[in-house]
Structure 1
Amino acid sequence: MNAFIAAMQLSVAVAFLSIPVVRARYGATATAAAHAELSRQGVRTTVLEENGMRFDAGGHETWAPVGIAAVLAATAALNLTGSSWTGVLNWIVMGLVLAINCLILYSNLTATGSVRAAFARKGDPALARIDVAALLKAAESGFPRWVWFLQNARHVIVFGAAALALAAAVAA
């Protein structure tokens, strides 16, 4: 049972690692597309950087998924070694993974509204003029079409594998 749980944890770890890999490969193209859209709208292209908005693998877009993957790999290793801590750790880690992935999914689904609200809080007239939906659509066009499928597959893998690992933990 521990090997199964470890396999589920490692599959979730790989799913999380796909985020910075894709952003490292295509983030510059997405950023260029976003800058082109801002120019088209007559807005300075520096507003993204000034407001911490990134489409590449920098910042939390790398350290968060890599950190989560590392914790999952460590927990999987403990499962494979039969550590007495695995029962409690499986519940904590996989529960947190489910909660984090819910937040990621919510963030993806509400991106336009949350970016619009964040820009509004800044009080910068240039930010208020931005057509956020068009900006995000332009950035999205910088990623290959298959990334949409990868993103959804990642959610399925994370939710499914985490649920299976927790179910196996109950059965153990």
Structure 2
Amino acid sequence: MNAFIAAMQLSVAGAFVSIPVVRARFGATATASAHAELRRQGVRTTVLEENGMRFDAGGHETWAPVGIATVLAATAGLNLAGSSWAGALNWIVLGLVLAINCVILYSNLTATTSVQAAFSRKGDPDLARIDVAALLKAAEAGFPRWVWILQNARHVVVFGAAGLALTAAALA
């Protein structure tokens, strides 16, 4: 059972690492597309960076998923080693991963609204006049179409594998 739980944890870890890998590979193109849209809207292209909005693998877009993957890999190692800590950590780590992935999914589904709200809170007049839907659509166009499939597959893997691991832990 421990090997199965570890395999599920490593699957979830791989799903989380896919985020910075895709952003590292295609983030510059997405940023260029977003900048082109800002120019079309008559907004300075530096406004995104000045306000912490990125489409590449920088900042929390790398350290958060890599950190989560590292914790999952460590917990998987404890499961494989038969550590007495593994059982409790499975519940804590996988429970947190499910909660975090719910937040990520919600963020994906409400991106336009939440970015508009964040831009409004900043008080920058250039941010306030951005057509956020058009900006996000332009940035999304900078990623290959298969990234949308990967994003959804990532959610299926995270929810499915974490759920299977917790079920296995409950049955153990």
Moved over 3 A (4+): none
Residue equivalent to 1:122: 122
Residue equivalent to 2:45: 45
Per-residue deviation, 1:123: 1.6
Matches of residues 60-139 of structure 1 in structure 2 within 5 Å?
Answer: 60-139=60-139
Residue equivalent to 2:168: 168
Describe the superposition over 1:52-98 as per-residue Cα deviations: whole angstroms up to 9, x where unpaired: 00000000000000000000000000000000001100000000000
Matches of 1:159 and 1:68 in 2, distance apart? 14
Describe the superposition over 1:78-121 as per-residue Cα deviations: whole angstroms up to 9, x where unpaired: 00000000110000000000000000000111110111011111
Per-residue deviation, 1:169: 0.3
Residue equivalent to 2:33: 33
Matches of 2:143 and 2:106 in 1, distance apart? 20
Unaligned runs of 5+ in 1: none
Per-residue deviation, 1:126: 1.2
Matches of 2:126 and 2:17 in 1, distance apart? 35
Per-residue deviation, 1:160: 0.2
Aligned length: 172
Structure 2 length-normalised TM: 0.99
Per-residue deviation, 1:122: 1.5
The answer to whether structure 1 residue 15 and structure 2 residue 15 are counterparts is yes
Per-residue deviation, 1:11: 0.2
Residue equivalent to 1:3: 3
Matches of 1:22 and 1:124 in 2, distance apart? 30
Matches of 2:24 and 2:65 in 1, distance apart? 13
Letter in 2 for 1:136: L
Q: Identity percentage over the alignment?
A: 87
| SS of aligned partner of 1:55 | coil
Structure 1 length-normalised TM: 0.99
Unaligned runs of 5+ in 2: none
